[in-house]
Amino acid sequence: MSDAHSVQSNNDNYGFALVSLTSLFFMWGLITSLNDVLIPRLKAVFDLSYTEAMMIQFCFFFAYFVVSLPAGSLIKRIGYKSGVVVGLIIAGIGCACFYPAAAYESYNYFLAALFVLASGITILQVAANPYVTALGNPITASSRLTLTQAFNSLGTTVGPWLGGILILTSATSAVESTITDASSVQMPYLVLAATLILMSVIFAMLKLPEIEDEETTESADIEGSAWNYSHLVLGAVAIFVYVGAEVSIGSFLINFLGEESIAGLEEMEAAKYVSFYWAGAMVGRFIGAAAMQKIAAGKALAFNAVAASILVSITVFSSGVLAMWAILLVGLFNSIMFPTIFSLGVAGLGAHTSQGSGILCLAIVGGALLPLLQGLLADTYGVQNAFALAIVCYAYIAYYGLKGSKIKS
């Protein structure tokens, strides 16, 4: 009888912990997609070129590259729950730093604040993702992670819409001074800072189950390296170009939709349409989860990549409403790419799985580098033509789905 009570108690604890962790996925999704609103706002405030404006995404996603491995070591020492608390505090400090950055009208201060914010979110991701998989039956681990990822997509959908109202509203009013424009980001990010700090206090007080890491005693005797597996290395390249393409498209949407030859939308209105891009990814995850029970992962990935490539091509070579909706629909086909590439990349790695997972996570740095390249193309050839970079990215992902993901003995 006591055993039954213990199992029921564990299930209750796990359920409560999962609900709590889901709120984290929502928050970092919202904060990440706010960058798409921040880019046109700071570009106008500081009179930046597109290349300079893309430093926002560079500083944000470069934090993943710098902080991921140290975060893993930190969480091994202090545990998952404490890792979540530390991540929330650092992210909260990063958001709070937006206030002095706007007060001093310094773009460099904004970039530093973004790096601190992203460092906190990186620690959160490194702690929360394995925490979710460890809470409960291993057989249902992927479904739990998919569910929490869906709430992450909800956050990325809400972020641009909310940011458009809170940050870009002033852009549609009378001509204002630079300091007023910069100050439009202060209150939204102060509210985010307060929310994150409050969440850190709540998580510190919550009684969440402690999960022990499974240490593989034979790990020192493992021969070879994950780098020896071609499908993993090619998968890391696929993650690099996927994250780069997805972030690049989102980063340029508001400016693109504002062009007279496309939709001529004011920034606040354009921001609402950016939500459609991210909402497509959320809807696509549910469709993909059902469809991929009957379709091979590699083929599904290739199909989505080809579809995305065609849509971007339509965007580059057309105009008006057709170009606008073609680029927004790319989000729908982005949906399954990250988890599918990830699962194909670590397939068959055995004892090298954790190393392979780390390599794939480092490849997220594509979100820092490719937007910079697209910014350079936009400054040289125009925003619309710069989207051609994504066509190349999706063509490679299609190759990976059909050929590169095959495991070679």
- Specify the CATH class of 225-409 in words: mainly alpha
Q: Which of the residue ranges 206-220, 303-317, 391-405 would you say has the lowest mean pLDDT?
A: 206-220
Same fold, 1-208 and 225-409: yes
Q: Is the pLDDT of residue 296 over 60?
A: yes
Q: What is the mean pLDDT of residues 174-183?
A: 54
Q: Is the pLDDT of residue 185 over 80?
A: yes
Q: pLDDT tens for residues 127-167?
A: 887 777 677 776 666 567 667 777 888 999 999 999 988 88
Q: pLDDT tens for residues 1-13?
A: 444 444 344 555 5
**Domain-wise residue ranges, the chain:** 1-208, 225-409
CA distance 227 to 213: 24
CATH number attached to the domain at 1-208: 1.20.1250.20
Q: pLDDT tens for residues 388-408?
A: 999 999 999 999 999 999 988
Q: pLDDT tens for residues 61-70?
A: 999 899 988 8
Q: Tell me the C-alpha to C-alpha distance, in Å, between residue 241 and each of 265, 360, 373.
A: 29, 12, 12
